[in-house]
Structure 1
Amino acid sequence: METISKLEILALCLLSLIFFKLKSIKRRSTAPPLPPGPRAFPFVGSLPQMLRNKPVSRWILNLMQQLNTEIACIKLGSVHVISVTSPELSREFLKKHDASFASRPDNLVARLVTDRYRGLVLSPSGSQWKKMRRVMASEVLTASVFERLHTKRCEEADHLVRFVYNQWMNPDINGVVNLRETTQHYCGNMSRKMVFGEGFFGPGMDDEGPGMEEREHVDGLFAILSCLYAFGVADFVPWLEFLDLDGHKRIVTSALKNVRKYQDPAIDKRMEMWNLGHKSEEDDILDLLINLKNAENEPLLTIREIKALILEIMLATVDNPSNAAEWALAEMINQPDLLAKACEELDNVVGKKRLVQESDIPKLNYLKACLKESFRLHPLAPFNVPHTSTKDTVVGGYTIPEKSYVILSRPGLGQNPRIWDEPLKFKPERHIFYEQTRVVLVDHDLRILSFSTGRRGCPGIVLGSTMSTILLARLIQGFSWRPPLGTNNIDLAESRDNGALAKPLIAHATPRLDPQVYFQSMQS
Structure 2
Amino acid sequence: MALDIVLVAGILLSVLVHLLLRRRLQSIRRLPLPPGPAGIPILGSLPQIGPMPHASLASLAVRYGPIMYLKMGTGGVVVASSASSASSFLKGLDLQFANRPFAISRKDVTYDCQNFVFANYGPRWKLFRKLCNLHFLGSKALADWAPIRRDEIGRVLRSMLESSRNSRPVAVAVSEALVCANANIIGQVLLSRRVFESQGEESNQFKDAITELLTWSGKFNIGDFVPAIAWMDVQGVQRHMRQLHIKIDALITALLAEHEATAHERKGRPDVVDLVMANRVDADGVSLSDVNIKAFISDMFIAGTDTSSVIIEWALAEMLRKPTILQRAQDEMDRVIGKTRRLEESDIPNLPFLRAISKEVLRLHPSTPLSLPHYTPEACEVDGYYIPKGTRLLVNIWAIGRDPNVWEDPLEFKPERFLSGRNANIEPLGHDFELIPFGAGRRICVGMHAGLLMVQYVLGTLVHSFNWKLVDDIQVLDMEEKFGLVLPKKVSLKAIVSPRLVGSAYM
> For 1:377-423, what per-residue CA distance to the aligned partner results, in whole angstroms no more than 9, with x for missing partners?
12243301011112111112211111111111122101111111100
Which amino acid is 1:32 matched to? L
1:474 aligns with 2:461: yes
Q: If the length of structure 2 is used for normalisation, what is the TM-score?
A: 0.88
- The match for 1:196 among 181, 191, 196 is 191
Alpha carbons of 1:92 and 1:215: their partners in 2 closer, same or farther (altered >3 Å)?
same
Which protein shows a greater Rg? 1
Does residue 215 of structure 1 match 2:214? no
Root-mean-square deviation over aligned CA pairs: 2.6
Partner of 1:343: 330
CA positional deviation for 1:283:
4.4
Q: CA deviation at 1:104?
A: 0.4
Q: CA deviation at 1:121?
A: 1.5
Distance change (3 Å), C-alpha of 1:100 and 1:297: closer
1:158 alignment partner AA: G
- The C-alpha deviation readout for 1:272-304, integer Å capped at 9, x for no partner, is 443xx4541334322222332536999953321
Where 1:98 maps in the other structure, the secondary structure is coil
Q: Give the distance between the partners of 1:30 and 1:116, measured in 2 at CA.
A: 34
- The residue that corresponds to 2:308 in the other structure is 321
CA contact (8 A) 2:136 2:189 kept: no
Q: How does 1:339-418 map to 2 (within 5 A)?
A: 339-418=326-405
Question: Structure 1: which amino acid aligns with 2:322?
Answer: Q
Q: Deviations over 1:320-344 (max 9, x none)?
A: 2111111111111121111111001
> In structure 1, what is the Cα distance between the partners aligned to 2:282 and 2:129?
17
Tell me the SS of whatever aligns to 2:106.
helix
Task: Kindly indicate whether the alpha-carbon contact (under 8 Å) linking 2:124 and 2:286 is maintained by their aligned counterparts in 1.
Answer: no
C-alpha change, 1:387 and 1:414, in structure 2 (3 Å) is: same
- Cα offsets for 1:194-236 (capped at 9, x unmatched): 22333334x43xxxxx132222222222222112242111111
1:174 aligns with 2:182: no
Q: Give the match for residue 224 of structure 2.
A: 235
Counterpart code for 2:247:
N
Please say if residues 178 and 505 of structure 1, whose CA atoms lie closer than 8 Å, have aligned partners that are also in contact: yes
**3-state SS of 2:489 partner:** coil
82-91 or 28-37, which moves further after superposition?
A: 28-37
Partner of 2:54: 57
Report which stretch shifted further, 386-395 or 484-493. 484-493
Q: Which residue of 2 aligns with 1:288?
A: 275
Post-superposition offset of 1:190: 2.4
Structure 1 residue 250: deviation in Å? Answer: 1.5
In structure 2, which of residues 479, 483, 489 is the aligned counterpart of residue 501 of structure 1? 489
SS at match of 1:103: coil
Contact 1:82 1:404 in 2 (8 A): yes
- Residue 100 (structure 2) pairs with residue 104 (structure 1): yes
Cα separation, 1, equivalents of 2:337 and 2:363: 27
After superposition, the Cα gap between the structure-2 partners of 1:139 and 1:420, relative to the gap in structure 1 and judged at 3 Å, is: same
Q: Tell me the equivalent position of 1:35.
A: 34
For 1:59, the aligned partner's letter is: S
Moved more, 471-480 or 251-260: 251-260
- Answer whether contact 1:282 1:288 (CA < 8 A) is retained: no
CA distance in 1, matches of 2:248, 2:453: 25
Which segment is superposed worse, 41-50 or 342-351?
41-50
Q: Which structure 1 segments of 5+ residues have no match?
A: 1-22, 205-209
Aligned twin of 1:267: 256
2:441 to 454, 471, 477: 454
**373-382 vs 53-62, which moves further:** 53-62
Note closer, same or farther for the CA distance 1:465–1:504 as it changes in structure 2 (3 Å cut).
same
Please report how far the alpha carbon of residue 479 of structure 1 lies from its aligned counterpart in structure 2 after TM superposition. Answer: 0.2
For 2:28 and 2:171, how far apart are their aligned partners in 1?
A: 64
In the aligned structure 1, how far is the partner of 2:433 from the partner of 2:285?
A: 41
Q: Which residue of 1 aligns with 2:499?
A: 511
How far does the alpha carbon of each residue in 1:330-389 deviate from its partner, in whole angstroms, 9 at most, with x for none? Answer: 111121111111001111221111111111111121112112111111224330101111
| Structure 1 contact 371–441 (Cα < 8 Å) conserved | no
Secondary structure at 1:319 match in 2:
helix
> Residue 468 of structure 2 aligns to a residue in which SS?
strand
SS of corresponding position for 1:96 = coil
Task: With the length of structure 1 as denominator, give the TM-score of the two structures.
Answer: 0.86
- Show CA shifts across 1:472-491 (max 9, x none): 01110110011212444533
Letter in 1 for 2:499: P
What is the CA distance between 1:146 and its match in structure 2? 2.0
SS of the equivalent of 1:199 reads: coil
1:179 to partner: Cα distance? 1.7
- Once residues 108 and 163 of structure 1 are traced to their aligned partners in structure 2, the CA distance between those partners, rounded to angstroms, is 42
> By how many angstroms is 1:134 displaced?
2.7
